[in-house]
Chains A and B, each alone.
Chain A
Amino acid sequence: MRSIRAAATGAVILSLALAASACGGGSSTGGGSNDSPEELTYWASNQGASIEIDKKVLQPELDKFEKQTGIKVKLEVVPWSDLLNRILTATTSGQGPDVLNIGNTWSASLQATGALLPWDAKNFDRIGGKDRFVESALGSTGVEGQDPAAVPLYSMAYALYYNKQMFADAGIDGPPATWDELVAAGKKLSKDGKWGIGVEGSNPSENIHHAFVFAKQHGADFFTADGEADFTNDGVVAAVKQYVDLMAKDKIIAPGNAEYAQNQSVSDFAKGRTGMLLWQSASANLESQGMSEDAYGIAPVPVQSGTPGAGKQVNSMVAGINLAVFKNSDNLDGATKFVKFMTSDAEQKILNTAYSSIPPVKAAQQDAAFDSPADAVLKDTLAKSAVALPQVPDESQFETAVGTAVKELFADAAAGRAVTTASVKAALTKAQQQMPKK
């Protein structure tokens, strides 16, 4: 009997000891250092058509960096679906990479964890200063009034992609500039099993990007000035309804799009099943699916009236990828050098060309490589009529809650149930109730 008791006591003591050490969290509380100056770990987000393609794009650049500085960079390309959870896990355990890519809409949420190195004036000076970057891109690097949690790396914006042949066949003169024109064009296109425009109805992030732009065009916001969730004001309700109505009322979106979440709407567009698509940097994707560049045109996302511009005429969120440094890195100097390298004019040209995005670095953006008609639209949008998603710590929850509400509304529309102002408001009320209480 004694030995049983001894074993039990030992087990309890051991479990307490383990629990205590786990509570301490070990290295996660520690600050950064320069203890291991010869190596860096870099988590890149999956930008290209596949992880292999990303490795092919990035590895030569990392080799170049190693040649210049003697610092070896260990690369891992992380798929989008895993990235946020991987970052959270790394934040909790303290066992993360030194440098990492984050979706720029997560900046404020991740900034709130306190795990990312703040980019104060001193740190910015080490990579050439804050003024090297485009204003709109800097707008999605963290909460306003605080030091940014990340540095812009690739910029993107939404544009309207349209199928030239289908437009010509339907007798439509050119790309629509307002939503009324888009609906009219869509109705002409929607026949014989073809449809006006495609959406990703089951993808919460995609939904939230469009809902946000429509809200801006209605002069509304999802958050009050002091950061409180305000999903049910009239402007937001009207905005979400207008977006879902493209399927529910105008019937220019195939009902099947309500369950799309794997970029099927891009494939539909590439195969000529839909005439229009609202997307960011679709060119590489379309080309890989066999659609040649002269088969489609690129125009700004429509507005309610007039032309895109500041104020109510917003037509895109500021999309893109930021580069962040984990505060507890044991090679802070090396990490800063790496950020400097990746945001240098030369690298910005190479990388943004490879990913068909726009450089957030002003000097690189001026390069002739970014003067194609498509890039001109995106550059113009980013400069004049794009706004960053709300930079609040709850951004991640907001994306899920409202994005899911829109997903359920699309499901209603697809099933033929009525989408009314009341039903939109009810869905948004539920979304708002899911937000954390302050």
Chain B
Amino acid sequence: MTATAPAAEAAVRKSSPGAARGPRRRPGRIRRIGLPYLLLLPALLLELLVHLVPMVIGIVMSFKELTQFYIRDWGTAPWAALDNYKVSVDFDAPVGEALLHSFLVTIAFTLLSVGLCWLIGTAAAICLQDTFRGRGLLRALFLVPYALPVYTAVITWVFMFQHDNGLVNHVLHDQLGLTDKPSFWLIGDNSFVALLTVSVWKGWPFAFLIVMAGLQNIPRELYEAAALDGAGMLQQIRRITLPSLRPVNQVLVLVLFLWTFNDFNTPYVLFGKTAPEAADLISVHIYQASFVTWNFGTGSAMSVLLLLFLLVVTGAYLVLTSRGRRAPHA
């Protein structure tokens, strides 16, 4: 068997360049245009099944009065017209007020988390740009939070945040004496800080990874030329590194924003089904409205509103950032 292999390989190699240019490789117009779509079809079908169909169902649900009385056969649930939306955006009534509160908490949380993730990730990537002994090890270590399964990582944080036996209080209170008494991290106001800590810990390695990739594309000559012209390290970062990273950062910040804004796993594992008020992120809030309060109609309406908000923000962001990028060339 092995003896024939090289011969066959040689034959293929010899014949293949000719075959590619041969007259038979000139298909009809329909086939040429149709083939890519045919190849895309499986992906399109799956996309439909996994994303579009549930989305359409969700939108339909948001116009229905869907409670425990109708979930068995939700097609028969009475139409609610815009009631679910009205309840969700009536900020003087309890449901709307709670949704607004949760929305504002989520905005504050997302801005802080994305900002910190970006800052730490970029700083780490720049520090590791030059080769030195142990760089590979550090790079690998930095990616650990990104590689761990979310549940495992967050449940470990839960243990560390425990009031009585947690590592966080042990260090802050017992060892450093920074607090008068052990603090609560998983209930009350501090829960926001706990949530932010875990989110940044989990998110920055991704920023690090992307920025590090972006840095590879900046020609070394630019830095050498700048150094010759007398630019210091900070000036090099400001005038070369950051502008060159712009396209990378544009995507990075958007992706981080969307992930953080919609993050469900972190708060759910940290706090369970009912989050403390200070850390009531919108994803868990909507889950609670749907699956704990059993008001699937209102929950769907909230989801649709959230989707619209994210679409608007993403659209505006893309328009603004791409305009800024094109401006110098115009």
- A residues neighboring B (CB under 8 Å): 3-4, 7, 11, 14-15, 18-19, 22-25, 28-29, 85, 88, 91-92, 94, 109-110, 112-115, 201-202, 204, 254-256, 258-259, 261, 393, 396-397, 400-401, 403-404, 407-408, 410-412, 414-415, 430, 433-434, 436
At the interface with chain A, which of B50-58, B107-115, B250-258? B50-58
List of B residues within 8 angstroms of A91 by Cβ:
71-72
Nearest A residue to B290 by beta-carbon distance? A88
Of B45, B163, B295, the most chain A CB neighbours within 10 A belong to B163
B20-48 interface (Cβ within 8 A of A): 30, 33-34, 37, 41, 44-45, 48
B325 lies within 8 A of chain A by Cβ: no
List of A residues within 8 angstroms of B73 by Cβ:
25, 28-29
Q: What are 30 A-B interface contacts by the 8 Å CB criterion?
A: A3-B34, A4-B37, A7-B37, A14-B48, A15-B53, A18-B48, A19-B60, A23-B60, A23-B75, A85-B291, A92-B74, A110-B68, A112-B69, A113-B72, A255-B184, A256-B162, A258-B187, A259-B162, A396-B294, A397-B294, A403-B274, A404-B274, A407-B274, A411-B187, A411-B188, A414-B163, A414-B187, A415-B184, A436-B293, A436-B295
User: Given contacts A19-B53, A88-B291, A397-B293, is CB(A109)–CB(B68) below 8 Å?
Assistant: yes
Flag B157-187 by CB within 8 Å of A: 1 or 0 each: 0000011100000000000000000001011
B98 lies within 8 A of chain A by Cβ: yes
Min CB distance, A206 to chain B, in Å? 12
List of B residues within 8 angstroms of A397 by Cβ:
292-294
Min CB distance, B282 to chain A, in Å? 16
How many angstroms between the C-alpha atoms of A112 and B71 in the bound complex? 10
How many angstroms between the C-alpha atoms of A7 and B34 in the bound complex? 10
List of A residues within 8 angstroms of B247 by Cβ:
none
A434 touches B52 (CB 8 A): no
B293 touches A259 (CB 8 A): no
B71 touches A261 (CB 8 A): no
User: Chain A binding site: helix, strand, loop or mixed by DSSP?
Assistant: helix
- B residues neighboring A (CB under 8 Å): 30, 33-34, 37, 41, 44-45, 48-49, 52-53, 56-57, 60, 67-69, 71-75, 93-95, 98, 162-164, 184, 186-189, 272-274, 276-277, 288, 291-295
B72 touches A114 (CB 8 A): yes
Residue in contact with B33 in the complex, picked from A3, A11, A14, A436, CB distance below 8 Å? A3
How many angstroms between the C-alpha atoms of A393 and B291 in the bound complex? 15
List of A residues within 8 angstroms of B53 by Cβ:
15, 18-19, 22
B68 touches A414 (CB 8 A): no
Min CB distance, A197 to chain B, in Å? 16
User: Given contacts A3-B33, A22-B53, is CB(A109)–CB(B272) below 8 Å?
Assistant: no
List of A residues within 8 angstroms of B30 by Cβ:
3
List of B residues within 8 angstroms of A114 by Cβ:
69, 72
How many angstroms between the C-alpha atoms of A112 and B33 in the bound complex? 55
A434 touches B71 (CB 8 A): no
B276 touches A11 (CB 8 A): no
B184 touches A15 (CB 8 A): no
Min CB distance, A244 to chain B, in Å? 13
Residue in contact with A15 in the complex, picked from B41, B52, B71, B276, CB distance below 8 Å? B52
Q: Which 7 A-B pairs have the closest CB atoms?
A: A433-B94, A411-B187, A256-B164, A256-B163, A404-B274, A411-B188, A23-B75
Nearest B residue to A261 by beta-carbon distance? B272
Min CB distance, A13 to chain B, in Å? 11
A414 touches B276 (CB 8 A): no
List of B residues within 8 angstroms of A19 by Cβ:
53, 56-57, 60
Nearest B residue to A407 by beta-carbon distance? B274
Min CB distance, B13 to chain A, in Å? 36
A408 touches B276 (CB 8 A): yes
Min CB distance, B299 to chain A, in Å? 12
